[in-house]
Amino acid sequence: MNTLLNKVAIITGASSGIGYETAKLFATEGAKVVVGARRQPELNMLVEEIINSGGEAIALAGDVKDESFARALVDLATEHYGGLDIAFNNAGAIGVVGATPEMSLSDWEDTLHTNLTSAFLGAKYQLPAMLKRGNGSLIFTSTFVGYTVGLPEMAAYSASKAGLIGLTQALAAEFGGKGVRVNALLPGGTDTAMGRSFASTPEALAFVQGLHALKRMATPDEIAKSALYLASDASSFTTGTALLVDGGVSINRT
């Protein structure tokens, strides 16, 4: 359909799962994609897959916790493709799961840095590039955890991901009048390596599936389609939202 024809998009956390599938989908829809993650071999596979399918992609390996990496991704998009229209700040980590009083300060700070500070660093460099275009779509991957559902022993993850929603709202208000939309995407349980860490046995999988009204987990490409909605003109009047794509886990009591 080419809904992103001639658009340039940065996607982090692109070496697997939601980021990987979103990069492929954006490229199929006509975007030129700059993909980032820590694992270079997986990024190379992704770029090869996109190019072999007729798309355009380039990769840069690095850590989203590093400000230099956030700047380098935008520089690469600008130098290689001429600018930036879309940024899907998707990289994140669960971090240490355990009793809150036993969590070290360094573990707390590392989770917040990975999930929240990295988003700020991404936006810090992505927004000026979008403003040069006169418009843009900035997307953060948050979660229902800490927003509609509280889960025990996940204080750092919950706080960092909930913080993304506050960041989304502030940036949406700050830059909406300048043509840039900012939204948060909140997936439910998804069949990724991270998602499977919570559902590593048949019993655990059945429990996680049962939490959702749809009684199953999402596939990564289902979440990618919602990212496409936020990236495209289909959501042209949507900004400052926390878009739940959670299979009904937030409302389910059965």
* Other beta carbons less than 10 A from residue 200's beta carbon: 9
Pull the structure tokens for residue 252: 């389910």
Q: Please report, as a single letter, which amino acid is at residue 56.
A: E
CB-CB contact of 142 with 164 (8 Å):
yes
CB-CB contact of 189 with 198 (8 Å):
yes
Buried b (16+ CB within 10 A) or exposed e, 146-184: bbeeeeeebbbbbebbbbbbebbbebbeebeeeebbbbb
Which is the catalytic residue, given 20, 125, 147, 157?
157
CB-CB contact of 240 with 176 (8 Å):
yes
Burial (CB < 10 A; 0-12, 13-18, 19+), residue 224, is buried
Q: Has 157 been annotated as catalytic?
A: yes
CB-CB contact of 77 with 84 (8 Å):
yes
Catalytic positions: 157
